[in-house]
Amino acid sequence: MIAAFLLPFPLRGYRAPYLWVYYRLLSSFGERMLFVASEDYTRAPEYWQAQNRWEMQPGNAQRLHYQVPTREDMAAHEYGFLSEAVYEALLADSGGNPIAAFRRLLSERVPCLDAAFAEILSQPSAEGIEAILTWCNCPSLSAAAAEKGIPVVHLELGPLRWPQYRPTAYLDFSGVNGNTEVERRYLESGFRPGAGLDIEGLRRFFYQGGEGETPAAGFDLGVALQVEDDSNLLAFGHGFDNQSLLVYTHLHRAEGRVLVRGHPGSLFALKPDWYQVDDSPDSVAFIRRCDKILTINSSVGLEAMLMGKRVEVLGDCAHRFIAEAGDAPERVARLAFYLFAYLVPMDLIYDSGYLRFRLGQPSAYEIALRHLAAYGIDVGPLRQASGSLSRLLELAGLSDVPI
């Protein structure tokens, strides 16, 4: 049996924050699971409908490939609930500040969480758990799982998302976005780019949007802000937030024209000051207007790399090691590995067969072969590529793949 930890507390202002993930697992997984969550997730869908939750809108369910469950659907699974008392203890230990509590949950072991996870993983329904899926870093969960010898699989929406890109996801046994295994896996793979592999070919494979007009860059620097309570920003920003990023830019990058893009989900509006506020319709148009992109750890940085732009990353994230490559060939190699052997086609993270495949610790070559097949590439002729990831990607003809 596979278990899933769904963030149980309203630390960002609303309950059951991963409700759609719960519904997607119920819709897609096809077998009994153990959900480590709050009782909020099992409320009748009518309750969430009355709350006007976005997950109840048919268009969102269709886009994210889930069906709103029945009570019978939910009752077919096992549960280990984290109580309101645990939430209240975490909040009290964090000075009543929900964002501080969220940061602690993401980045340090918390005694009340340690005890709650240990109790849940000791109950009879937790016997025989093969792995625990989680959509956020949680050191207390990882410690309790390690005590039982259970691997933790960190999952999250990837940096390339529909409709502009082939939809991707993260899957990492060390952490999600922060504390990831990507660079270690890359070095262990010995991957090097082939002569026929370049950034343009990689971009064409993943990008599905229209090219539109390509304006002259116009700005020396584009600064991409993030949602203020984003988990990556809170736990893996190396002390930076949006305000300090703007001050940093002003003090250290004052030369040239600066374009600042606020996150669409931000509660705050930017005011023009020494910079210009971006009004582009999407992140792709924003990137095209800039010679270089500066971010803490936004996925806009990865998009910019795919467009051949220079990128500076101040925080911790999985694609930072690409930005730090010493030269262009090394950058192509890291980007290709990241795209095909690290990022996962979105639907696969809800596939129990694929998750068990990854629990078997396959090689980067085997992982990339599985991913190419999921992207619709005929991998039959590619299976004899001598186990070489670079040869595999060359034989896939990425430089000739149409959008």
Q: In what order do the strands lie in the sheet with 131-134?
A: 78-81, 33-37, 2-5, 131-134, 152-157, 168-172, 344-345
On the question of a cis peptide bond just before residue 163, with omega within 30 degrees of 0, the verdict is: yes
Domain ranges in the chain? 2-150
Q: Which pair of structure tokens corresponds to residue 37?
A: 């969550």
Of the ranges 200-204, 280-284, 355-359, which is most confident? Answer: 355-359
Strand partners, 172: 154
162: pLDDT strictly greater than 70: yes
* Identity at 333, one-letter amino acid code: A
152-157/131-134 β-pairing: parallel
pTM of the model: 0.94
Give residue 266's pLDDT band: very low, low, confident or very high (50, 70, 90).
very high
pLDDT at residue 314, as a whole number: 97
pLDDT tens track for 169-190: 999 999 998 899 999 999 998 8
Q: Which pair of structure tokens corresponds to residue 307?
A: 């467009």
325: pLDDT strictly greater than 60: yes
Give residue 79's pLDDT band: very low, low, confident or very high (50, 70, 90).
very high
The answer to whether 210 and 284 have CB atoms below 8 angstroms apart is: no
Give residue 397's pLDDT band: very low, low, confident or very high (50, 70, 90).
low
CB contact set of 96 (below 8 Å; sequence gap of 6+): none
pLDDT at residue 274, as a whole number: 87
Share of the chain above pLDDT 70, in %: 92
Instruction: Tell me the backbone φ, ψ of residue 39, rounded to 5 degrees.
Output: -65, -15
pLDDT at residue 183, as a whole number: 96
Least confident of 11-20, 112-121, 216-225: 216-225
DSSP string, 162-176: TTTB--EEEEESS-S
pLDDT at residue 379, as a whole number: 80
pLDDT at residue 212, as a whole number: 58
Count the Cβ atoms, other than its own, within 10 Å of residue 398.
Answer: 24
pLDDT tens track for 126-136: 999 999 999 99
102: pLDDT strictly greater than 50: yes
Least confident of 83-97, 156-170, 203-217, 345-359: 203-217
Handedness of CA 332, 337, 343, 348 (dihedral sign): positive
Q: What is the mean pLDDT of residues 59-70?
A: 95
Q: What is the mean pLDDT of residues 261-270?
A: 93
402: pLDDT strictly greater than 50: no
Least confident of 154-158, 251-255, 322-326: 251-255
DSSP string, 155-218: EEE-SS-TTTB--EEEEESS-SSSS-SHHHHHHHHT----TT--HHHHHHHHB-S---------
43: pLDDT strictly greater than 70: yes
Give residue 155's pLDDT band: very low, low, confident or very high (50, 70, 90).
very high
Between 196 and 334, whose confidence is greater? 334
Give residue 401's pLDDT band: very low, low, confident or very high (50, 70, 90).
very low
Give the span between the Cα atoms of 61 and 49, in whole angstroms.
13
